[in-house]
Amino acid sequence: MAQLFKLARRNIWRNKRRTIITVCSILFAVFFATFMKSMQKGTWDNVVNSVVSNFFGFAQIHENGYWEDLSLNKSMEYNAELKNLADSDENIQDLVPRLESFALGSHDIKTKGVVVIGIDPVKENKLTNLADKIIQGKYFGEESKGAIIASGLADYLKLTVGDTLVMIGQGFRGLNAAGKYLVEGMVEFGSPELNNGMVYLPLDQAQYLYGAEGRITNLIVDTDKPKKIKETVSSLKNTLGSEKYEVMDWEELIPDLVSARQMDTAGGTIFLNILYLLISFGIFGTLLMMLKERQYEFGVLLSIGMKKWQIFIMLWFETIVLAFIGVLAGILLAMPLIYYMFANPVALTGDMASAYDSFGIEAVVTAAFESGIFIQQGIVIFVIVTLLSLYPFFKIRSLHPVKAMR
């Protein structure tokens, strides 16, 4: 066996051209496959993160039917059961209440439709780090009664911190809603959709504005175990029952995002399969060439007493070693580039960017730097090459020493 391995090693050295062609094609395959996978994963993870953890949360609880109507009439009472619900599941860190609705916001002669969100300042900040997005003024304190507005909206309405924002809308059960709010702070969002329309109020102020005392529209699940969100959702459903409340994870909340990701990933998979197919042909070509070139040599080995399986093992060793080198080199080559893309996301511009914006997502392309992707792609390509290298077995089996040496 050791002898076969030694022969294999020397054969690899001897036929440098074949070695280089084989190693390079494996290397490129691994390089592209890991790069593609990492970029796809990274970009989508970023999308999900920016949408989910910056705004929607990984799951939400509403009054039944709220997500369909988005109407204040489907708001729910923020009662003791809901307030204590966070203790029901250990994966839930907190449940963050919001009262969301619409209004017309105006200042001087400018008016614009805005999204009003009443928040519990402390809880909301833990969930979405809203205070970090403040670019002017201050985040809500204990006693705040004013508003925090998004900078795009502020520009449009020509508002700055210290000015007064007037809002008019329709409240709970058709009441008129109107109020004046001191602008206490300004936040900036990467997504233009958020940045051009958001107004935050302290929860009690929003409830007062809309005549919805003690009510909220959304209760957002704050979790540090997003991977277990399905379990958490079903345990919440169990606790609450399906009569009065709906519990939705982020995939139900934003199904468009899920299907967009699936489409994109499917496209990527097709591309990857084409890549696998191409390198399979490449490797197969070098195998065929090698078998033809060395047929004579195999005839000699057979006639001096080497068994067919020994020749086959020798060839198999050769390919395995080449595959190993190729896979390793591919990973080592891809790593720095992927890491660079991971550490330095590229901001998108143009059409792509506006497509992202319409989802309310920061438009950046970035990579995931995950060992899982390297391992997975490395193994897939290694297995492909290993399987391909079984082909010579059929050739060697039918080898006849005299014919091989002719």
Partner 1 sequence: MANNIVIETKGLHKTYDESKVPVHAVRGVDIKITEGEFTAIVGPSGSGKSTLLNIIGGLDQPSEGSIIIDGQDLSKLKPNQLIDFRKNNIGFVFQSYNLIPVLTAKENVEFVMLLQNRNEKERSERTKELLDAVGLSDKYDVRPTELSGGQQQRVAVARALAPKPKFILADEPTANLDSTSTRNLLDIMARLNQEENITFVFSTHDQRVIERARRVISVEDGKVESDIIK
Closest distance to partner 1 from the beta carbon of 308 (Å): 8
Q: Per CB under 8 A, does 300 bind partner 1?
A: yes
Closest distance to partner 1 from the beta carbon of 313 (Å): 13
Closest distance to partner 1 from the beta carbon of 386 (Å): 23
Q: Are 154 and 160 in contact (CB under 8 A)?
A: yes
Q: Which residue has the tokens 């300004």?
A: 186
Q: Which of 304, 349, 371, 398 binds partner 1 (CB under 8 A)?
A: 304
Q: Coil, strand or helix: which one is 124?
A: helix
Q: Per CB under 8 A, does 7 bind partner 1?
A: yes
Q: Per CB under 8 A, does 289 bind partner 1?
A: no
Q: Per CB under 8 A, does 405 bind partner 1?
A: yes
Burial label for 287, CB within 10 Å (0-12, 13-18, 19+), is buried
How many Cβ atoms sit within 10 Å of the Cβ of residue 217?
26
Closest distance to partner 1 from the beta carbon of 311 (Å): 11
Hey, what amino acid is at 276? Y
Chain center to CA of 19: 38
Q: Per CB under 8 A, does 399 bind partner 1?
A: no
Q: Which two tokens stand for residue 69?
A: 């109507």
Please choose, from the candidates 327, 86, 396, the residue with its C-alpha nearest in 3D space to the C-alpha of residue 219. 86
Q: Per CB under 8 A, does 11 bind partner 1?
A: yes
Q: Per CB under 8 A, does 310 bind partner 1?
A: yes
Total residue count of the chain as it appears in this document? 406
Q: Per CB under 8 A, does 307 bind partner 1?
A: yes
Closest distance to partner 1 from the beta carbon of 5 (Å): 12
Beta pairing class for 59-63 and 218-223? antiparallel
Q: Per CB under 8 A, does 402 bind partner 1?
A: yes
Whichever of 92 and 404 has its CB closer to partner 1, that residue is 404
Q: Which of 233, 301, 361, 364 binds partner 1 (CB under 8 A)?
A: 301
How far apart CA 308 and CA 310 sit, in angstroms, is 5
Within 8 A by CB and 6+ apart from 320, the residues are 385, 386, 389
Part in contact with partner 1 (CB under 8 A); list of ranges 200-208, 295-303, 344-352, 379-387 = 295-303
Contacts with partner 1 by CB under 8 A lie at 3, 7, 10-11, 13-14, 296-297, 300-307, 310, 400-402, 405
